[in-house]
Each structure stands twice: as structure tokens, then as C-alpha cells.
Amino acid sequence: MPSSYGLRPADTNSIMLAAELLRQGGLVAFPTETVYGLGAAACNPEAVARIFGVKQRPTFDPLIVHLAEATVVQEFAEVSPTAEKLMQAFWPGPLTVVLPKTKTIPDIVTAGLPNVALRVPAHPVALFLLRAANMPIAAPSANPFGRLSPTKAEHVMKYLGDKIDLVLDGGACERGLESTIVRLKDGQLEILRPGPVTPQQLEQVTGCPVVMPTGDKITAPGMLKSHYAPRTPLRIVDKITAGDVDPHKVALFFKQPTFDISNFAATRLLSAGGDLIVAAANLFSALHELDSMAAQEILAESVPETGLGIAIMNRLRKAAAK
Ligand code: TXA
Ligand code: MG
């Protein structure tokens, strides 16, 4: 067997190969609708341990377990009626639900926590792979710990290509932002990570109050302040103006600017029309590109903090944190 199969288009043959590699304890990167995941057999502790090694991820930071369908969830977690509503409404999709785990999930997956994070991704390649492997797949985002999440196969190759067994190329991720993570606590829904599923949607479906963790309190391992960080220092401003133009800097615009931007070292636009869905889908890709220019600073324009904008600003603040 070659040491790595490298990058393969996600056709039937490569997905079957990926499933076989996973069954043998290997590591395979695959596309989801949010970001690329780095998968291993969730019930194989040694395979899961390899994920932590390759990502240089601290073992106190638990992994999301991906399932092919909601009907198998009872094998892995205790499901409450509210959790049931969430799964019915949002799976397959960009929502991760944190639930009390069963013994089937090894402790290394949850970093010793009594809860497991679960989701069914809405991506044909991910679903095909989950069905072909016929087992749950633990998968964090396929980036080294603390770096920008990958939304294209080439991002994964650049980061981890030589360290993992196979990368399935399924094109750019449609959502571009990691899943919303929610935990049920005392009749409330606690958002551990804002994402594509918004607080309003969660409240509508469950009728439960939704709370966002505030302040500096870390209630989930993934709430570390600095995360998703580019190498280039990033500064958030309300609006980038003509006075900010600087040939040593690169700029990330939310909307189409109305002044001459040609004297920036480089610029990227999240959405010409100021659409938050489009902006979310382009965010990490734009940051990857701007980060590769070795500029003095990335200037990033704020987006309105409503709906998906909450998740976008969350990622920008983490990218800006030292
Ligand atoms: O969209 C996504 O969620 C992507 C794709 C690949 O599915 N995955 C992803 O995984 O973003 P990762 O590992 O990069 O982020 C998962 C976050 C981490 O911050 C982790 O701390 C948190 O989920 N998490 C995982 N299990 C948890 C648990 N049992 N309790 C609380 N937080 C948990
Ligand atoms: Mg991640």
C-alpha cells in the first residue's frame, strides 16, 4: 500500500477506497457542506489518536462524530425529545448536537467528557462515505490546531497532504463555516459555537430559550479565544475607508467598496451585494488567500451581527485574537 494516496477526485472508486482506509484505521479528509473534515473510525481509539497527532490538537479538545443518518443515533447517545426535534429539523445539515454519550463512544473521542457531539452532514460525498464505511466517523476540521479551517481540498493538501492517507476532493464547501454546536441544558439551548443554523431557527423549532455564552467564560473546549488564526495579524474595523489604503496591507471587504482600492497589496470581497450567506461561504477561502501574501496586516471589515453574521463575526474575532 502506498504511504499516502494523496488527492483524489471524490468519485465512487475513491470513496470506496476511503471507506476501506477508514476501516483499517487510516485517516481520510473529506468534504462536508461546512468545511473539510479529517476523518477516522470513531470507535477505533488508535485511529482517533492519530487525528490528535496529525492536527497537533490538545487531547482535551473533543471531536464531532459524524453519522450517516439520525436513525442510528441511539447507539451512541441518549436522545431527549428536544434533541429529537433538532435532529428532525436540521439533519442532514450544519447542526451539531451535544448529548450524553453511550459506552460505544471511546473516551478519547470526547476527551473524557460524558457528552458526545454528533451530526449528520448534508454533503453527498460525506454521506456516501459514511454509508460505505458503515460506521460513525470522528472528524474535526482538517487543519492543524488553531489554523484557518479548510473549505477546499487544496487547503487540506497544503496543511496535511503528506501526513494523511487520502484527501477526497469534492470541490469548495457550500456553507464555508463550521456547524453550529448546541447543548441542551436545564430546558435551554446553549450555543457552544455559532454557525450556519441561527439562534432564531433553533428557538423556532424547539420553543426553548436559546442562550449564547457571553464574556470570557470557556464552557466548551472549542471556545478558546484564539482559533481559526491566520499567520498574518488580523484587525477588524467597522468599515474600511479610503484612509486605510496601504500597500503593505491586505483588505477583506464585506461589501463592494466605493473608493479606489488598487493600492492595497491585495483585496478580497466577501459578497458584492452584502449577502451574509455568500459572505460565509467565501470567508475562510478569502482569509487563506490573503494570509498567503505575507502582508503586514489583514484589515477585515465587520458584517452586521444578525443571523449568519453572528457566526462570521465569531470567526473573525477568533482570527484577530492573539
Ligand atoms: O462543521 C463542522 O462541525 C466540522 C465538520 C468537519 O463537521 N467539524 C468541526 O470540528 O468543526 P472541530 O473539531 O474543528 O470543531 C469541533 C468543536 C470543537 O471546538 C470541540 O471543542 C467541540 O466541537 N466539541 C466536540 N465535542 C464536544 C463535546 N462533547 N462537548 C462540547 N464541545 C465539543
Ligand atoms: Mg476546527
Do 102 and 133 share a domain, yes or no?
Answer: yes
Secondary structure, 3-state, the chain: CCCCCCEEECCHHHHHHHHHHHHCCCCEEECCCCCCEEEEECCCHHHHHHHHHHHCCCCCCCCEEECCCHHHHHHCECCCHHHHHHHHHHCCCCEEEEEEECCCCCHHHHCCCCEEEEECCCCHHHHHHHHHHCCCEECCECCCCCECCCCCHHHHHHHHCCCCCEEEECCCCCCCCCCEEEEEECCEEEEEECCCCCHHHHHHHHCCCEECCCCCCCCCHHHCCCCCECCCCEEEECCCCHHHCCCCEEEEECCCCCCCCCCCCEEEECCCCCCHHHHHHHHHHHHHHHHCCCCCEEEEECCCCCCHHHHHHHHHHHHHCC
Residue 157 inside a domain? The answer is yes
pTM: 0.94
- CATH, residue 314: 3.40.50.11030
Residue nearest to atom 31 of ligand 1 (CA): 220
92 lines ligand 1 (CB under 6 A): no
pLDDT digits (tens, 9 = 90+) for 209-255: 999 876 555 556 666 666 678 999 999 999 999 999 999 999 999 99
Residue 122 inside a domain? The answer is yes
**Mean pLDDT across the stretch 73-84?**
97
Do 36 and 162 share a domain, yes or no?
Answer: yes
Residue 38 inside a domain? The answer is yes
Do 188 and 268 share a domain, yes or no?
Answer: no
Residue 222 inside a domain? The answer is no
Do 238 and 195 share a domain, yes or no?
Answer: no
User: What percent of the chain shows pLDDT beyond 90?
Assistant: 91
Do 251 and 169 share a domain, yes or no?
Answer: no
Number of domains in the chain: 2
- Give the per-residue pLDDT at 3: 77
- CATH, residue 170: 3.90.870.10
Do 96 and 36 share a domain, yes or no?
Answer: yes
Quote the ligand 2 centre to 38 CA distance (angstroms).
Answer: 10
Do 202 and 68 share a domain, yes or no?
Answer: yes
132 lines ligand 1 (CB under 6 A): no
| 282 to 62, 72, 269: CA distances (angstroms) | 27, 33, 8
CB atoms closer than 10 angstroms to residue 111 = 15
Quote the ligand 2 centre to 224 CA distance (angstroms).
Answer: 11
314 lines ligand 1 (CB under 6 A): no
Local confidence band at 82 (pLDDT 50, 70, 90 cut-offs): very high
Ligand 1 atom index nearest CA of 119: 7
Do 188 and 52 share a domain, yes or no?
Answer: yes
- Give the per-residue pLDDT at 214: 64
Where a domain ends, among 196, 211, 226? 211
Do 185 and 269 share a domain, yes or no?
Answer: no
51 lines ligand 1 (CB under 6 A): no
Residue 170 inside a domain? The answer is yes
Do 207 and 308 share a domain, yes or no?
Answer: no
| Ligand number nearest to the C-alpha of 108 | 1
Residue 273 inside a domain? The answer is yes
What is the residue range of 94's domain? 7-211
Residue 100 inside a domain? The answer is yes
- Give the per-residue pLDDT at 224: 64
